[in-house]
Amino acid sequence: MKKRPLSVRNLERYRSPKFWRDTAQAYLYLLPALVILGTFTFYPFIKAFWISFYRWKFRNSVFVGWENYIKIFHDDLFWLSLWHTVYYALGNVIPTMTLAMFIAVLLNSKIKGRSFFRTAFFLPYVTNTVAASMVFLWIYDRDYGLLNYFLHTLFHIQLIDWLNTPQFAMPAVILMGIWRFLGFDVVIFLAGLQNIDKMYYEAAEVDGATGWKKFRYITLPLLSPTTFFVFIISIIGAFKVFQEIYILWSGPGGGPLHSAMTVMIYFYNTAWGQWHLGRGAAVANILFVIIF
């Protein structure tokens, strides 16, 4: 018996009442998630895009077209905050990923206390940001801080006012960021390493490959999807840095002489400090385009 064409069978399937019942049931199961996603993601995004073209007030808003975007691009403070954000992202993401990969390779080997070290490295990531920032306020204190104590005791370096000296403000934030997010990267890299088949390493050992060659020609290539994932997640997180800076300097000032002003701090000042909600929405849209 000759089979009917696939297109005919598909058409009959779409006409089947059972197909539509199953489809309706599937969408019914998805409805709660779609409602939440639409309410808290899609609607705010569309609303922010719309508001960005207005001199927004809760009453009598005025349509201004691209004026908010033009003012932002002519604001030197915006470009300064963007540069600081890029500086933070590069200074945080690259060292953190490099160190995390090295630690993950060590933890993936047969060493004692692997579970303890995994927990110890991951603990800062799950620590409350406010609590961590308060600890670093003490660490960075000029007179009684732990960092100055070690630098002065071990290397006889003069006391540094980390949070009130412009050239040290952003490095202080970067150091805290590395401490906080190192554990997350370690856990992700460790998961990627454990998915690599041991057969590759055994074959390399038979051929007399050294540890460095196994890392370069086996670990790095096979870990590239994990590395890409960690890089993207880390960059997105770095561009959204806000809480650490806000708490370290007790407000949205962005450090001494705006030396730690990032795009998120600039957005906060614009939208909620100056109540230019339309311009703040424009900043949020620009940041969205930069990240995605």
Contact 167, 259 (CB under 8 A): yes
- Please spell the DSSP secondary structure of 85-102, one letter per residue: HHHHHHHHHHHHHHHHHH
Residue reference for tokens 């561009």: 239
Q: What CA–CA distances, in Å, run from 216 to 110, 192, 209, 213?
A: 20, 15, 10, 5
Q: What is the pLDDT of residue 6?
A: 46
Read off φ and ψ for residue 205, nearest 5 degrees: -65, -35
Q: What is the pLDDT of residue 167?
A: 93
Question: Interior CA angle at 284 toward 282 and 286, to 5°?
Answer: 70
Three-class secondary structure of residue 55 per DSSP:
strand
Judged against a pLDDT cut of 90, whether residue 4 lies above it is answered with: no
pLDDT tens per residue across span 174-204: 999 999 999 999 999 999 999 988 898 888 8
State mean pLDDT over 284-289.
92
Pick the closest to residue 93 from 104, 85, 83, 103 (CA basis): 85
Residue reference for tokens 């554990």: 183
Give the end-to-end CA distance of the chain in Å, rounded to a whole number.
Answer: 54
Q: Own/partner pairs for 153-161, CB < 8 Å, 24+ apart?
A: none
The structural domains of the chain, ordered by start, are 6-51 (no CATH), 68-291 (1.10.3720.10)
Contact 288, 267 (CB under 8 A): no
Q: What is the pLDDT of residue 224?
A: 94
The Cα–Cα gap between 273 and 69 comes to 18
Mean pLDDT of the chain: 89
Judged against a pLDDT cut of 60, whether residue 82 lies above it is answered with: yes
pLDDT tens per residue across span 131-157: 999 999 999 999 999 999 999 999 988
H/E element holding 233? Answer: helix 224-239
Task: Give the residues across from 62 on adjacent strands.
Answer: 55
- pTM for this structure? 0.85
Q: What is the pLDDT of residue 8?
A: 47
pLDDT band at 208 (very low <50, low <70, confident <90, very high): confident
Residue reference for tokens 């204190």: 141
pLDDT band at 10 (very low <50, low <70, confident <90, very high): low
Pick the closest to residue 279 from 76, 67, 82, 79 (CA basis): 67
- Please spell the DSSP secondary structure of 117-183, one letter per residue: HHHHHHHHHHS-HHHHHHHHHHHT-TTT-HHHHHHHHHH-PPP--TTTSHHHHHHHHHHHHHHHHHH
pLDDT > 90 in the chain, percent: 61
pLDDT band at 3 (very low <50, low <70, confident <90, very high): low
- 3-17, 60-74, 124-138, 243-257: which range is least confident on average? 3-17
Q: What is the pLDDT of residue 15?
A: 60
Q: What is the pLDDT of residue 165?
A: 93
Contact 142, 162 (CB under 8 A): yes
What are the structure tokens assigned to 139, written together? 């660490």
pLDDT tens per residue across span 98-142: 999 999 998 888 777 778 888 888 999 999 999 999 999 999 999
Judged against a pLDDT cut of 60, whether residue 7 lies above it is answered with: no
pLDDT band at 13 (very low <50, low <70, confident <90, very high): low
Three-class secondary structure of residue 111 per DSSP:
coil
